[in-house]
Every structure is written in C-alpha cells, then in structure tokens.
Amino acid sequence: MIQIREATAEDWPQIYPFWSEIVEAGETYAYPEGLTSEEARDLWMYDHVVVAVEGSAEDEHILGSAKMGPNRPGRGSHIGTASFMVSPAARGKGLGRTLGDYCVQWHKDNGFHGIQFNAVVETNTTAVRLWQSLGFQIIGTVPDAFDSTSHGRVGLHVMYLPLT
C-alpha cells in the first residue's frame, strides 16, 4: 500500500537516484544537469516536501516525491505551485495521481487560491492529461522553450487550477 508522508532530510539519499535519473533523461524538467547530490538537494528539499512510500516502517521504499509552496513571494503568494518526481521503476502504480490529489488538497487546506504549474513539457502527455483530469487548464504555451532529448525543442505549458 502506498502512503504519503512528509519528507525528512534522511530521505534525500533515496530520492536523489530517481530525481537525477529523471533530470538526466531530459524529457520533463529544466533543472541544471550534472548536479551533485548536495546541489540537487538544495533545489528540491525546501517548502513542503512529501514522499510516496511503500512497505513497512522497517523496510520502507521511497517511490516518488513532490514539493509544493507559494509560486511567488509577496503579492503573488496566494497562488501555489508544485513539482513531482516519480521513480521510473515505480511507474504505472498511479503515483502521479496520488501525489497530485495530495497536492491539490494541501493547497486547499493551506488557503491557496489556485495552483500554477509554470513549465509542463507539452510532449509529457502523461503529465498534461493527469493535470487536466484534476481540473487544470492550459493557460498558454511558450513555444520551443524546452530542449527535449527525444523531441528537440518543444513548448512549455503554463497550467492553472483555481481553488476558490
């Protein structure tokens, strides 16, 4: 059974392998490539970070992670944002949806007025369809803004879900 719990600093060594595998694959995220574990940690482990885990407390495996928080400071802080990483080895278990549902509820519980995704790669159709199924709409698409390994230059969607 998959559960979601808050991440702790001790979780990072289990997150980093799939985090870096996903970034290096070059299909979904515009993080710098070739980061050390410490550098990557500083880009992921802030705001509210959760992990999706399987197994008993004694033999727990981290299958995915999500981070969420305000999309902008100050006068933009009522809109949230989030990022998601699901271990490629754990695909097909519905983890994206489980983490996405958690993310929407977390933003509601914390009084956010909406959730904005700033850069959803248009060829990442699994993600695009998942967010659409949660109610997100494509606000617009910046053309050729992401250099995908297998597709070349593709667009980045700005997606938005109003919560009030």
Q: What is the DSSP string of 141-158?
A: EEEEEEEETTTEEEEEEE
- Quick one: which segment of 11-19, 44-52, 58-66, 141-149 binds a second copy (CB under 8 A)? 141-149
Contact positions with a second copy (CB under 8 A) in 36-75: 71-75
Q: Does 112 bind a second copy (CB under 8 A)?
A: no
Single-letter amino acid, residue 13: P
CA distance 155 to 146: 6
- Applying CB under 8 A, does 142 fall inside the site for a second copy? yes
Query: Minimum distance between the CB of residue 144 and a second copy, rounded to whole angstroms?
Result: 6
**156 contacts 145 by C-beta, under 8 angstroms:** yes
Question: Shortest approach of a second copy to residue 61 CB, angstroms?
Answer: 28
Kind plus residue range of the DSSP H or E element containing 8: none
Which of 94, 114, 134, 151 is in the footprint of a second copy by CB under 8 A?
A: 114
Selected range binding a second copy among 10-18, 82-90, 125-133, 136-144, rule: CB under 8 A: 136-144
Stretch that binds a second copy, among 6-14, 89-97, 127-135, 145-153 (CB under 8 A): 145-153
The amino acid present at 92, given as its one-letter code, is G
Q: Are 159 and 120 in contact (CB under 8 A)?
A: yes
86 by Cβ neighbours in 10 Å (0-12 / 13-18 / 19+) ranks as buried
Binding residues vs a second copy (CB under 8 A) = 23, 26, 29-33, 71-79, 113-114, 116, 118-119, 138-148, 153, 156, 158, 160, 162
